[in-house]
């Protein structure tokens, strides 16, 4: 600590040292402000989704709980079709390809946009073709 005090005292006595200290203080304040801004960024997620096979899904809304100051289980429900019910394939209701559950190509399709099939034949009868990225 004594060495630091001596450096600061020497810097304050010297005109060039004052300029260096001012530049360092400005840089440190800028970095600190930047980091505080990143920490205070309001990162609101869409909520927590709890899924049960062949049942409705409960959604805990993060935005509702933040605005009210408490956790609130909203009344929003989504009908879920689960892959564990014997369905081996799925497709997007907006696309023309179908995927197996082991294929990573269909992972970006939202749950609410998925159509499920038990067999390949069932999917192909519905007008879908198997994705070439799943082979």
Mean pLDDT value across residues 105-129: 90
In a domain, 67, yes or no: no
In a domain, 61, yes or no: no
In a domain, 75, yes or no: no
Nearest to 76 by CA among 96, 62, 93, 90: 62
In a domain, 8, yes or no: yes
Report the C-alpha gap between 124 and 33 in whole angstroms: 57
- ∠ Cα 59 64 70 (to 5°): 100
Report the C-alpha gap between 64 and 76 in whole angstroms: 12
In a domain, 70, yes or no: no
- pLDDT at position 5: 84
Q: Residue 3: how many CA atoms within 13 Å on its side-chain side?
A: 0
In a domain, 47, yes or no: no
- pLDDT at position 74: 43
Report the C-alpha gap between 107 and 109 in whole angstroms: 6
Please count the structural domains in the chain: 2
User: What pLDDT, in 10s, does the model give residues 32-76?
Assistant: 888 887 777 765 555 666 676 766 544 444 444 444 444 434 444
In a domain, 20, yes or no: yes
36 plus 85 within the same structural domain: no
In a domain, 29, yes or no: yes
Write out the residue range of the structural domain in which residue 36 sits: 2-40
Tokens (6 digits) for 12: 């304050």
């Amino acid at each position: 600590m004594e060495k630091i005090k001596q450096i600061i005292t020497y810097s304050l006595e010297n005109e060039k040292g004052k300029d260096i200290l001012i530049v360092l203080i400005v840089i440190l304040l800028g970095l600190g402000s930047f980091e505080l801004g990143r920490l205070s960024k309001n990162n609101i997620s869409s909520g927590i989704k709890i899924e049960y096979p062949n049942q409705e899904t409960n959604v805990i809304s993060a935005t509702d709980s933040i605005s009210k100051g408490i956790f609130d289980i909203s009344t929003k429900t989504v009908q879920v079709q689960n892959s564990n019910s014997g369905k081996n394939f799925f497709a997007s209701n907006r696309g023309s390809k179908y995927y197996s559950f082991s294929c990573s190509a269909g992972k970006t399709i939202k749950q609410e946009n998925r159509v499920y099939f038990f067999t390949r034949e069932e999917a192909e009868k519905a007008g879908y073709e198997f994705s070439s990225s799943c082979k």
